[in-house]
Structure 1
Amino acid sequence: MQKNDPSRIYRKGTFVLLLLVVFLAITFLLDYIRISGYEIFPVRPEKEINLQINELYYQLANGKEAVDWGQLEGGLEYIQNEYDCADFRLVNLIRILYEAEDRMPESYRKQTQEVLFNFRYWWDEPGENSMCYWSENHQILFASAEYLIGQKYPDRVFSNSGLTGRQHVEKARKRILDWLEMRWNYGFTEFYSGTYYVEDIAALINLIDFARDEAVVVKSKMILDLLFYDMASQSAHTLFVSASGRAYEGNRKGGRQSTLGRLIHYFWGEGQDPGPGMTYGLLKSPNYTIPTVFSEIAKDSSVQVIKQSNGLDISELHAEGFGGTDDRSMMMQWGMEAFTNPEVIRNSLHHIRTYRMFSNDFLADFKMMDFSLLRWLRLEPIISRLLKPQSDGVAIQKGNTYTYRTNDYTLYTAQGYHPGTYGDQQHVFGMNIRNHFGIFHTHPALEKGVPNQSPNYWVGYGRIPHSVQDENVNLSLYALPEKKGWMEMDLLGYTHAYFPTSKFDSALLDGRYVFGKKGETYCAMIGAEPFELREGTTDNLIQHGKRTYWITEAGAAGTDGSFAAFVQRVKANPVAFDREALTLTYRSNGKRYELAFGKDFVVDGKVVDTNYRRYDSPYVQADRKDQTLTFRYHEKTLFLDFDGLLREVSD
């Protein structure tokens, strides 16, 4: 037989291939067995727990002598079991420990300490649970709690981590300073969130009141200042609704959920006590007072254009130093809720594996990607690009926000925010009818009544429109695909608007037009197809079609005369829409607006640059990463030097 006998080579090759197949099969089987064994921890308790820590702190803070310390029990049980949002329950528990521990009965003091010493304060510590550690607000809540509890008990060894309180302080301090620096340089990822700014306030005011570190305290004050500037500049009187990285139904429509736990009513309204809540410490703080300049801005009734850049795009992560798997990078990536996007999916899986987080219910679906072959061949980004999962839309990317603010209304837009992509909790456009209520349009991700926290019928988007604004006019183009994505929950063939006709003084629905009048405020919406109210509703305006537009124009008696004149003028405005090319042209009040889907926004023949500076408003001008900021209005100023730890208030 010849040395290079082809039959021999063939048999050898077949044998090697067989070995490879067997190896891969065994690897797959072992991976499958391992993955199937992952235990998922509960997010919430099976039976509702009576949580009264906020009520107890409220009583203590207002001088009530005889309190029922049994109000601690439900909260301690919740924290001990590490249910999601246990960090919320720690906020006022910490304030009780720092302000009233001497009043606490010994049995409750010991029980509290036992719970706190066994708690898992960060994802790198021993244990497993289904707490969300990673979103922007949770990051600072956990770090604030770990720092202050460690500071309270510096020499105690925490039984879960094996670290002393002093070591916990140092560990949390780095995360706090990283988090604060990110907010200073880039703003809030969860920008203008009527829900999550509350949590940020709660964490920051605790650090301001109790931390014994000058850098932590002063920088926390500065970031709280930036948060209050956002609130002041985006509020419509006592309504805080604007374009947002994370918004729920009430955050879009207005009402109780749009007053930041009633804080706006307290500071800029009639001063009503907001009652028990996570942010009540702010009202009792001896160390932080909202600078007067922000109160002046909040009450400014003049016409203003407010531009701002908030957060980062995924494409910027590497250039900005956040592309790795170190703690700081993951805080930015996961703070953006970027998990499955091709640019970060390997980082996510590395982090989940490293810190035993497949058992976390929020991350449990990642187990389907936890096969060794995928990791060895680095296939995860390729699979993500091919599948284009709807979870990619969870990522909160940079919001270049434009707000046109008048005494009668605010109109706001996250300019050109990733048109055509999936959405989750983003809110890219709307109008506030003074401080009465909001209106907005969206492409629902799911049909009405289908349960899902987000996205759903009123929260987030199935597909995000290309939405742009100039002063009192917004143009939005929707381009819905013919077929839903492979992992898309649904693809509804219509868009709809929240337009509560019963809340207006007058409302007129006329084919492709709808108008509303409330007090001195007017609004108009124009569509590509006739509008219709969904059967049985007075606030749910439907526009059928997958390639459509919504034009929104705001007006007021002072600038437009009578409501009838406003209606007549808008109906006479020329509109041109090319459904195939997805281009829209609108003329109003002598201006010509042009928008091409995924391309330029043009006003009067000039391309509009919608990539904004960090701050661009009459109140403050600054670029990203500027070391100093000066807020100024009505001779009131606030000067901040972040690295120099200098904060100067001129009231």
Structure 2
Amino acid sequence: MRNLVIRMICICLLISIFLPLNVSYASPSVYFDESAYQKRKTAYIEQGVWDESNDALVLQAYAGEELNQKSLQDFLNVLRNGGQKNSDFTLTKLIRVLMFRPEIKDELVEALEGYHFWFREGGTGDHVFSSENHMLMYTSSQYLLQEKYGLYEDERTYKRLKKYLEVKNQYGFYEFYSPNYYPYTLSALLNLVDFTEDEEIRQLASGAAQRLLQDVLFVTNDEGAFFAASGRTNDGYRSNGLNANINRIIYLVTGIGNDKARTPSPIGVMLATSDLEISDDVFRYFGKPINMTYSNGHSLGEAMNTIYKDFPRAERVPFYWTQGAYFHPDVAADTAWFASRYKLQGYESLKAFDRFLGLSESAAPAAAKAGAVFSRSSVLSQANFAMYKDGGVMLHSLQDYWPGRQGYQQNPWIATTGTKSVWTKSGDGGGSSVMQNDHLPKIKQMNNVAVIQYNPYPEIEAYHAGGSNVSLYWPNGFDEEIRNGNWKFGKEDDGYVAVRYPCGNGDAEKVTCDWNEQTWVTIVGTKEKYGSFNQFKQKVLSEVQYDADWEWHGSFWKGTLKYVYDSDVKFDGTDISLTW
């Protein structure tokens, strides 16, 4: 039976290659089909080479077609006069155009007059060098220009690049499961894979790219939707997992995706023109049921004491920042020193920590420690996850991750029935793309059930008006949905989700609860597991045992007595106890 299923999947994949473009989805492949991949890349290039978007310039360069001069000048203008903010996104594409079409070299060098690829003491301007994706885009571009043309030589570039790639191969990515930034990190990796003359760098870049692709498919469901508990994301990606830049990766590698996933995008044009060899290991978790807990990354202490220990201080600090460690008490002195040396007051990427800028090297650690509920939780390290995936249904969450502290671009949990996603968020983020949650929850997920506690530190409530507010984001467009008591239920095809909210108006588009301590419960399921949608609803309503309250735990006589916020949830053989 199992062999028959596998054969049917393979047949569906082969058929899907020849389907018309208005067909949205193909069946997922549990292995890599090189032939189908090459056909998709060829079709992507042929269909997009004369697209009106500037990104099509990369396809034109690869195909040997005439370059769209307006697109080329638009790209070059982004680099002129020292470069606009985030100009490295454009620079990475122009490096690929240059490698395919060396005749643009003089124009590119002219545009790069006054450009800098790293922090400089005279002033860094708006360039963001210190997040994981940006560091690689700037450094890989400078390295390839050095290697190919002897331009912009700096002995630090190779050392920084090699260390960066070694860390990704060993530990994975700090910006874990980021739909925003994974595509740009991959773009820079592909430039190294395809164009470096250094075999060690090429192998390291290939290994990092394979690991990133495995990450992408791990949190991609059978509908081709990307939904993840993430180190860096925003509401747009939480609500729509089908139409983003990252979905071009999913389509090209797997064949699953809608019409938009077949159009030029910043990562699509890079991957379609790359010779990266994709291993079967990229598909290790794709198209298969998953029910697991796991960890990734490393501690900040390991970064300081081992990984970056031998780097000069001026090189170590930006690596700490790529890990999100900006004003953590352990690195605050380094950050204050670096910010002073490079005149970073008002620096865009430190905007969320402006309350700490201007402090002296000696004063910064104490200030960071006093403001620990704000200064520690930006660090992206040693994350523990739980993943439940069954076809299109997924539940993915971060376990016990900086609970009660300020959240930045992290997304602590998300559930999906296929293409619809559900999550909670605290506060309104102040309208900032950097600070996404006023405070983070404590989560414990077992099987298809997650218990989500909110209990902000007092400093959070003092700093953020309405700091206790937690809102449930519930999508429009479920096939069926119903509210019963404090439960909301949604159905999409054969996928189900149920959420128990502690307070608030369950009929509102956004259910908001303002209690100081809150417990939310999320359960996902399928028709195969629970029968009809009504049967799923009835099972949840009749079988869930729920209790959340303050209780005394421990022994007075043993000195272990504590007053704790305790949540206990039982359902379908899953028994979760979560204590704050």
TM interval, short-chain normalised: 0.7 to 0.9
Q: Residues 565, 366 of structure 1: CA spacing in aligned structure 2 closer, same or farther, 3 A cutoff?
A: closer
User: Does the Cα contact within 8 Å between 1:189 and 1:312 map onto a contact in 2?
Assistant: no
- Which letter does structure 2 place at the counterpart of 1:357? L
In the alignment, the residues of structure 1 paired with residue 185 and residue 296 of structure 2 have an alpha-carbon distance, to the nearest angstrom, of 16
Q: Residues 424, 359 of structure 1: CA spacing in aligned structure 2 closer, same or farther, 3 A cutoff?
A: closer
Deviation at 1:322, TM superposition (A): 4.1
State the match for 1:578 in structure 2.
Answer: 549
Give the alignment of 1:185-196 within 5 angstroms.
185-196=170-181
Instruction: Name structure 1 gaps, 5 residues minimum.
Output: 1-50, 159-166, 598-651
State the match for 2:576 in structure 1.
Answer: 593
Give the alignment of 1:613-624 within 5 angstroms.
none
Other structure's SS at 1:298 match: coil
In the alignment, the residues of structure 1 paired with residue 197 and residue 109 of structure 2 have an alpha-carbon distance, to the nearest angstrom, of 21
Q: Residues 99, 582 of structure 1: CA spacing in aligned structure 2 closer, same or farther, 3 A cutoff?
A: same
User: Does the Cα contact within 8 Å between 2:245 and 2:267 map onto a contact in 1?
Assistant: no
Q: RMSD value over aligned CA atoms? A: 2.6
In the alignment, the residues of structure 2 paired with residue 528 and residue 542 of structure 1 have an alpha-carbon distance, to the nearest angstrom, of 9
Q: Residues 144, 279 of structure 1: CA spacing in aligned structure 2 closer, same or farther, 3 A cutoff?
A: farther
State the match for 1:427 in structure 2.
Answer: 411
| 1:55-93 CA-partner distances (Å, limit 9, x unpaired) | 32233334433x332322232222123222111111121
Instruction: Name structure 2 gaps, 5 residues minimum.
Output: 1-51, 552-563
Other structure's SS at 1:318 match: helix
Deviation at 1:365, TM superposition (A): 8.4
Q: Report the structure number with the largest CA radius of gyration.
A: 1
Deviation at 1:416, TM superposition (A): 1.1
Other structure's SS at 2:55 match: helix
In the alignment, the residues of structure 1 paired with residue 112 and residue 459 of structure 2 have an alpha-carbon distance, to the nearest angstrom, of 51
In the alignment, the residues of structure 2 paired with residue 389 and residue 473 of structure 1 have an alpha-carbon distance, to the nearest angstrom, of 28
User: Does the Cα contact within 8 Å between 2:133 and 2:181 map onto a contact in 1?
Assistant: yes
In the alignment, the residues of structure 1 paired with residue 352 and residue 503 of structure 2 have an alpha-carbon distance, to the nearest angstrom, of 40
State the match for 2:30 in structure 1.
Answer: none
Give the alignment of 1:30-41 within 5 angstroms.
none
User: Does the Cα contact within 8 Å between 2:248 and 2:265 map onto a contact in 1?
Assistant: no
Q: Residues 547, 258 of structure 1: CA spacing in aligned structure 2 closer, same or farther, 3 A cutoff?
A: farther
State the match for 1:412 in structure 2.
Answer: 396
Normalised by the length of structure 1, the TM-score is 0.73
State the match for 2:514 in structure 1.
Answer: 544
User: Does the Cα contact within 8 Å between 2:169 and 2:204 map onto a contact in 1?
Assistant: no
- Which letter does structure 2 place at the counterpart of 1:114? E
Q: Residues 349, 570 of structure 1: CA spacing in aligned structure 2 closer, same or farther, 3 A cutoff?
A: same
In the alignment, the residues of structure 2 paired with residue 210 and residue 129 of structure 1 have an alpha-carbon distance, to the nearest angstrom, of 29
Q: Which moved more, 1:113-122 or 1:228-237?
A: 113-122
Deviation at 1:341, TM superposition (A): 2.0
In the alignment, the residues of structure 1 paired with residue 377 and residue 465 of structure 2 have an alpha-carbon distance, to the nearest angstrom, of 14
In the alignment, the residues of structure 1 paired with residue 441 and residue 350 of structure 2 have an alpha-carbon distance, to the nearest angstrom, of 28
User: Does the Cα contact within 8 Å between 1:369 and 1:380 map onto a contact in 2?
Assistant: yes
State the match for 1:335 in structure 2.
Answer: 322
Give the alignment of 1:70-89 within 5 angstroms.
70-80=70-80, 81-89=82-90
Give the alignment of 1:86-165 within 5 angstroms.
86-102=87-103, 104=104, 109-124=105-120, 127-154=123-150, 158=152
In the alignment, the residues of structure 1 paired with residue 518 and residue 379 of structure 2 have an alpha-carbon distance, to the nearest angstrom, of 25
State the match for 1:292 in structure 2.
Answer: 280
Q: Residues 117, 209 of structure 1: CA spacing in aligned structure 2 closer, same or farther, 3 A cutoff?
A: farther
Q: Residues 590, 489 of structure 1: CA spacing in aligned structure 2 closer, same or farther, 3 A cutoff?
A: closer
In the alignment, the residues of structure 1 paired with residue 458 and residue 365 of structure 2 have an alpha-carbon distance, to the nearest angstrom, of 25
Q: Residues 483, 367 of structure 1: CA spacing in aligned structure 2 closer, same or farther, 3 A cutoff?
A: closer
| 1:134-167 CA-partner distances (Å, limit 9, x unpaired) | 000111111110011112321x5x4xxxxxxxx3
State the match for 1:564 in structure 2.
Answer: 534
Other structure's SS at 1:420 match: coil
In the alignment, the residues of structure 2 paired with residue 242 and residue 367 of structure 1 have an alpha-carbon distance, to the nearest angstrom, of 29
State the match for 1:61 in structure 2.
Answer: 62
In the alignment, the residues of structure 2 paired with residue 52 and residue 101 of structure 1 have an alpha-carbon distance, to the nearest angstrom, of 22
State the match for 1:463 in structure 2.
Answer: 439
State the match for 1:507 in structure 2.
Answer: 481
User: Does the Cα contact within 8 Å between 2:231 and 2:409 map onto a contact in 1?
Assistant: yes
Q: Of 422, 441, 445, which residue of structure 1 is paired with 2:424?
A: 441
Matched, 1:451 2:423: no
User: Does the Cα contact within 8 Å between 1:440 and 1:499 map onto a contact in 2?
Assistant: yes
Matched, 1:379 2:363: yes
In the alignment, the residues of structure 2 paired with residue 131 and residue 261 of structure 1 have an alpha-carbon distance, to the nearest angstrom, of 27
State the match for 2:17 in structure 1.
Answer: none
Deviation at 1:523, TM superposition (A): 1.2
- Which letter does structure 2 place at the counterpart of 1:575? Y
| 1:99-120 CA-partner distances (Å, limit 9, x unpaired) | 1123x4xxxx433212335320
Q: Of 244, 263, 270, which residue of structure 1 is paired with 2:249?
A: 263
Q: Residues 361, 304 of structure 1: CA spacing in aligned structure 2 closer, same or farther, 3 A cutoff?
A: closer
In the alignment, the residues of structure 1 paired with residue 352 and residue 497 of structure 2 have an alpha-carbon distance, to the nearest angstrom, of 44
In the alignment, the residues of structure 2 paired with residue 595 and residue 387 of structure 1 have an alpha-carbon distance, to the nearest angstrom, of 26
